[in-house]
Amino acid sequence: MKNFTKKAGFIVVPNTLEEWTLDTISQLLVGGYKEAESFDFKESLPEKSNPKHKLDLIKDCCAFANSFGGFLVFGVSDDISASVESCLKGITAKEFLTDFGNYPSQCTPSVKWNYRNPPIPLKNGNTIYVIEILRSWDAPHCYEDNKSVSNQWYCFPKRTNKGNEYMSYEEIRMSFLQYYEKRLKLQLLRSELQTIKDNAGGLRRYAESAANPPPLGEFSLTILETTLADTYTILMSEVLLLSQLTQIRRMCGRVNNKLQSVLPVYYLPMSDTKSVFLKHNSDVTVLCDDIISAADTALLALDKVISDK
């Protein structure tokens, strides 16, 4: 989130859709912030007869997605010489969202976006639409700059405090490497979840017999915790998946603690060893059932994430 200071006070650029309000937009206009690294004011969608402006909007979508994400605020003029009131024009088109959706879909690969719901109404009856272009882990995104020569001129823009600039060869190369690295880490996370589920199943079957002494092994959570940290920026919006992963880590930790606490029974003579094993195995069986259930839910959610990417 970018902070800007002006004489009349402190201007904070919103970093969520809900934070974009008419008052915030007015403050930014008063402060002279009409285009920044994280947002761009636009009076309207490009006219159908203006291919350059249409290409510029596609470029904006790619640039925000290739950088840290950002907001396109439609219905606000970027005329520096105009008053705040005259800059707040609004949009009259009823099918604005449908029309806008044609632009991010022309990026390669297509760019994901969201919008403020409801949009911001103006006194003149028009509406200001705030579009959020999400930071993408499918980056780099590009657009075709010369439609007359297919697959010839692909451009990879990025967003900076100067507006849209083009990525260097090394930046493009690193984006591709990071894309495949993230996919591999998601696959590693899936493999580790399956391993934990399988281990829980094996431990449960072993613990079903009250006569069995508890095994000396335990759940290793190192890979799970490492891959979860590495992929958090991808999974941060997957509330159900993150919840299940948190439960799995917690329950595996409880099983590990129980396995550690029962170790003295192996080495110290006790008259009630059988009852200790019975209680321990009963507790572990319940926990393993819960681990397996949570792992199944997490695997389904993770498979959806992987298939969507």
What confidence tens digit (pLDDT) does each residue in 254-305 have? 999 988 887 776 666 666 777 777 888 888 889 999 999 999 999 999 998 8
**CA–CA distance from 112 to each of 61, 136, 141, 174 (Å)?**
9, 8, 11, 21
More confident residue, 171 or 188: 188
Q: What is the pLDDT of residues 130-153, one digit of tens each?
A: 999 988 877 888 988 765 555 557
> Of 44-58, 132-146, 192-206, 259-273, where does mean pLDDT reach its minimum?
259-273
**Cβ distance 237 to 134 under 8 Å?**
no
Strands 120-121 and 3-6: unpaired
CA distance 72 to 298: 34
Q: Residue 10 has what pLDDT? A: 58
CA distance 225 to 241: 14
Predicted confidence band of residue 119 (pLDDT cuts 50, 70, 90): very high
Find the length of the chain: 309
- Which amino acid, residue 291? I
pTM of the predicted protein model: 0.60
- Terminal Cα distance for the chain, rounded: 26
Sketch out the chain's domains with CATH numbers. Answer: 3-167 (3.30.950), 178-308 (1.20.120)
Predicted confidence band of residue 188 (pLDDT cuts 50, 70, 90): very high
Q: Distance of alpha carbon 84 from its chain centroid, rounded?
A: 34
Evaluate the CA torsion angle 53, 21, 3, 68 in order and state its sign.
negative
Give the tokens for residue 133: 């272009």
The residue written with tokens 């609004």 in the block is 90
More confident residue, 218 or 269: 218
Q: What is the pLDDT of residues 59-68, one digit of tens each?
A: 999 999 998 8
The residue written with tokens 């940290």 in the block is 229
Q: In sequence order, which residues have a C-beta less than 8 Å from that of residue 196 and are 6 or more positions away? A: 219, 224, 248, 252, 291, 295
CA distance 74 to 91: 7
